[in-house]
Amino acid sequence: MKRLLLHLPAMVVGLLTGRLLSTGIRPRDGKPQPTLFSVTTGPSHQLAEEAGGAWQSLLMNRAPLAKAPEGDSEIDKRWSEISRANVKSPVRGRLELELARSTLPVEQLGWEAMTGEGDSGGDRPRDWLAGREEMLARLGKEHPQRALSQVNGLARGKKSQLIDQQSLSGLRRRVFREWLRTDPKSALAEAGSNAFSGITRGQNLQALMEEWSRLDPAAASVALATLPESGPGYARKDFAATLVRQWHGKDPAAARQWAQTQADPALRESMQTLIDELDATDPAAKAAVLLAAPDHGGGKLAGALGEWLSGDPAAALTKLSAIPAGDRFWANEAADAALWWAMDSRGTLTPEQYLEILSTIPAGPPREAFLKGLASYGASNDIPFAVRILSEMAEGRPREEAVGMLTELWMRKDPVKTSEWLAALPADATSRHHGVARFAENLAPDDPARAAAWAATLPDGFWQKESVVKAVLEQWRAKDPAAAAAWAGEVTHK
């Protein structure tokens, strides 16, 4: 805040003061307001009044607001006090708008201090962001370019860790919502400006397309065609999908017609698939659409299949059994589909019931992929469930990955039982070696000697042994260099 007043020209300070005074903020009894050091915490209405007086005094007298060495100024402390009291003062709202209208960078507006010292969790960040959203909406009606600059400044500020990407996206959309209603051409030009980094430009364009697609999808489709085919921060397929989703909700026929007229074959096919998916009324229909797509729809397919398997497993498995064993579905989506199936059916089926349903699938990659997905669910939610499913899996990469995952998650809860389970696995099984490697690496920070004993059981030909031994040695050297050196000698001359 200090830098704000040091950089504002005297005339601007006078204008701000005049505006504040014209809205009824005057020194009490014509006397100078107390300094910030003398103001104490009181009821909310008193805090609001005192805050208004303090701001007025600062603006009139251009009092210095230098940051203290520890990083806090008195004005920061006052704003923290007001924020913790949750004061909704008209004084505060008017001042925020006046500051935002200025040409100062966001870090000189004092916003970050308004989060308060105790606002690192709970509802406070959301309350604070809600206030910024309203202020930016007001500013966006008058100076949208400045409002967008404020949002990008918040993303780079010292309190940026309090603002998740979803919240920042909401702020950007709010700015563009106002801007598009008055000057969509300028909004588009600013969003795609090369003055922004690739990441920021992509975020701006995504927010703009979301809002424009809600307000006027036909106009948004024309704008989309003017953007470059590719470039930093630009993803035509993502922006087109945003457009189609919004347009389909307003006018499905118009959305489909637009998709069918796209010159780019890949974009045309992708958008037509998306519209077919949006037209689908149940998981079976949605899964059928996604399975027919060249890329299978990725995570969306797993979710749709999970719902279908939960509702009608026999029909879903009949459909899936027709997919060739070499299809990429079995390597990329099948395990996720089984995971979603278990999550959607949480608690309603036992491991034996799942295995009975899967008995219709013959031994081979498809069955192993489903078992891997079920084991992944059990590793995070039900250890005995995971152990039972793993007992049905054949040696191979799916089992190796499943054993490694279960080991890492289980040992965080019960390392003793995890070690007993690993010890009971066949000593020559590659899947056991994967589990031991995970166990040794995760045990090393707490008990490197015991981790070394486990690492020593790995066969010399196992591809992870060298990296596991190195990880254990690093942890052991930090605790007991002599013991680590002795073990390293044993491993080297073994």
Look at residue 438 in the predicted model and tell me its pLDDT. Answer: 95
% of the chain exceeding 90 in pLDDT? 41
What mean pLDDT is predicted for residues 193-212? 86
CA pair distance 364, 205, nearest whole angstrom: 46
The string of pLDDT tens digits covering residues 330-354 is: 888 899 999 999 998 877 899 999 9
Strand partners, 243: none
Strands (E), 165-312: none
**71 compared with 168, residue with greater pLDDT:** 168
Strand partners, 264: none
Location of structure tokens 């489709």 = 221
Look at residue 129 in the predicted model and tell me its pLDDT. Answer: 61
What mean pLDDT is predicted for residues 79-87? 45
**170 compared with 384, residue with greater pLDDT:** 384
pLDDT bucket at 451, cuts 50 / 70 / 90: very high
CA pair distance 88, 82, nearest whole angstrom: 9
What mean pLDDT is predicted for residues 223-250? 82
What mean pLDDT is predicted for residues 64-92? 43
Residue pair 330/366 in contact by the 8 Å Cβ criterion: yes
Within 8 A by CB and 6+ apart from 329, the residues are 291, 296, 320, 323
The token duo for 453 is 């004993």
Strand partners, 139: none
Look at residue 163 in the predicted model and tell me its pLDDT. Answer: 67
pLDDT higher than 80, residue 55:
no
pTM: 0.63
The token duo for 28 is 């009490």
pLDDT higher than 50, residue 156:
yes
The CA–CA distances, whole Å, from 81 to 42, 77, 127 equal 10, 6, 15
Amino acid at 486: A
Which of 192, 188, 248, 254 is closest to 223 using CA atoms?
188
What mean pLDDT is predicted for residues 291-299? 74
Within 8 A by CB and 6+ apart from 152, the residues are 196, 200
CA pair distance 65, 350, nearest whole angstrom: 66
Q: What is the DSSP letter of 176?
A: H
pLDDT bucket at 440, cuts 50 / 70 / 90: very high
